[in-house]
Structure 1
Amino acid sequence: MKYLIATLLLATISLAQADISTEIGKAIGNSAANGTARAIAEEQRKVSQAALMTALCESEGSYSDSALCFMTPQGKRVWELEGTERAYWMEVGQEHRKEAMYQKRQDQKRQREKTKQQVDAYKINLQLCQFWRDQPDSERRRAKEQEYCGV
């Protein structure tokens, strides 16, 4: 008798689950028509985008220098803003990015020049070292060899 009741209960539950599934599907369809599901999906998209943009802007990669990651005086990033405020700060961020890129190129150019000068000085030192090593032994030769060859 207990088995018969348990079997009947299981059959009823499985039929009820099918009906519940159908009702859930209808509810989702109705809520999509009402915009509730769209609103939920939009909020999920915003949260996902916020997490992604935060990670990108806080990373050390080149994306962190983009105009979208520019920090406004109010402490917000451009990607967090909307409308005309976003457009304004986007332009400011782009100008800031251009200036930063120009400064970086200038720094690289200065570093290349400095390296070139160091290489040239090293080559001249090598030539002078060899020159003084080829001279006959004298007090001056030893002093110059010490100066240019580090011996």
Structure 2
Amino acid sequence: MALPDFGMFSVSSRVRNANGNTARDESAVDFDVCPAFGAALDLNPGNGDQRRNEAGSKCRSADVVIDADRVVAETGKGLSKADAKKALDGFISATTNALNEGETVELIGFGSFSISKRSARTGRNPQTGKEIKSAAKNVVKFKAGAELSKSVN
């Protein structure tokens, strides 16, 4: 699911090893920032983020795109397309401003957004084995709420 100019949510299937056994965790919800939202937050892109920024077009071509048309369709005839667009733009603007001020944005039952600081590190290119230095940067972190986590299981 994507909110254009904001980000994409996806359910991930993570493999976890516990006592040598492999199990799947189907409850994790991931969030990737779209480039426009990242730019509004003045996030510092690091090495390797070019791939993610090039994938920004996915923010408009996901399986489900939450735009003004979708909001109007989901709410019935009680909301105009112009009002739905204002509501989505207001949500993105309010979230951007709150995160820029260091606050956490919580949508009860859905989840919360916050800024997390990643320190500089040295990694390796898996194809060449060459060391790559990644600069310190801020990233948007999303933690799924209990109701959302239950609904994706």
Higher helix share: 1
TM-score, with length taken from structure 1: 0.21
- What TM-score, normalized by structure 2, do the two folds share? 0.20
Higher strand share: 2
Greater gyration radius: 1
